Chains A and B, each alone.
Chain A
Amino acid sequence: MSDTKNFMFLNRRAPYGTIYAWESLEVVLIAAAFEQNVSLMFADDGVYELTKNQDTAGIGMKNFSPTYRTLGDYEVRHMYVDKASLEARGLTADDLVQVEWEDWETEESVDNIVEVVDSERVAELLDESDVVFSF
């Protein structure tokens, strides 16, 4: 296997209405296992993937929301949220789950790797990635 690449997962779909968000998350977990540099970008309806208090008991579907909170344990270092998409939906960072990250070797830790960024930064981050996965 050749060198490590910067993978960006561009998530633009809401959860449950379609399976894209869930199956995208499955690729994220595998990519992390391949020791790639994995980042996630949430834009458009993708920001709904990160909202708190999801409860699927009444629709008979698996609630995969808790999995996002474990991504820090899978060495996912960055989860970016497009500010304009968030604001357009009347949401703020407080409405989103927090994801902790800790490097077990250096004990370096970050309380929350979910970061709200503006359009210009989103464009830069996408541009700087080696591969963009779109779901």
Chain B
Amino acid sequence: MSDLHTVNKSPFEKNSLESCLRLSKAGSAILLYEDGVYAALKGTAVENMIASAVSDKKVYVLGPDYKARGLADDRMIDGVEVVDYAGFVDLVDANDKVQAWV
């Protein structure tokens, strides 16, 4: 099985997402939450990070954080899946362990 990686920082503020993507194995699950959700938007300078990550990793966004920040569903990068807190719990359950890129 694979690991769940959590990223809670904006990719414009910190390199957590970049390091997470570089240091996680293919097949990993990545959950963007808190300010990490900004990475899921189309049309940003870092769009390519997530757009290419979805080819060999599963990328999730925590819906409540995305919605709280006023982000529109149609601006989300294709291939990114939205989960709620119950879905977050399911991801932790379904993967071997959690690596937090705090």
What residues make up the interface of A, taking CB atoms closer than 8 Å to B? 10, 12, 43-44, 82, 84-85, 119, 122-124, 126-127, 129-132, 134-135
Q: How many residues of B contact A (CB 8 A)?
A: 15
| Residue on B nearest A127 in the bound complex, by CB | B25
B23 touching A123, Cβ below 8 Å: yes
A119 touches B98 (CB 8 A): no
B22 pairs with A132, CB closer than 8 A? no
- Interface of B, secondary structure class, is loop
Residues B23 and A126 in contact, CB atoms below 8 Å apart: yes
A9: min CB distance to chain B, Å? 12
Point out the residue from A130, A131, A134 that lies within 8 Å of B102, measured CB to CB: A134
Residues of B within 8 Å of A127, CB to CB, are: 2-3, 25
Which residues does chain B contribute within 8 Å of A44, judged by CB atoms? 15, 19
Quick check: is B100 within 8 A (CB to CB) of the other chain? yes
Q: What is the interface of chain B, defined by CB distance below 8 A to chain A?
A: 2-3, 15-16, 19, 22-25, 97-102
Say whether B19 contacts A123, CB under 8 Å: no
Chain B residues, Cβ within 8 Å of A119: 22-23
* B23, B100, B102: the one within 8 Å of A122 (CB): B23
CA distance A134 to B99 in the complex (A): 7
Closest chain A CB from B36 CB (angstroms): 14
A12→B101 CA distance, assembly (Å): 9
When chains A and B are docked, how far (Å) is the Cα of A124 from the Cα of B19? 14
Taking a contact as CB atoms closer than 8 A, the residue among A84, A132, A135 that contacts B99 in the complex is A132
CB of A82 within 8 A of CB of B97, answer no
* A132 in contact with B19 (CB, 8 Å): no
Q: Are B19 and A130 in contact (CB under 8 A)?
A: no
Chain B nearest CB, measured from A130 CB (Å): 7
Chain B contacts of A131 at CB under 8 A?
Answer: 97
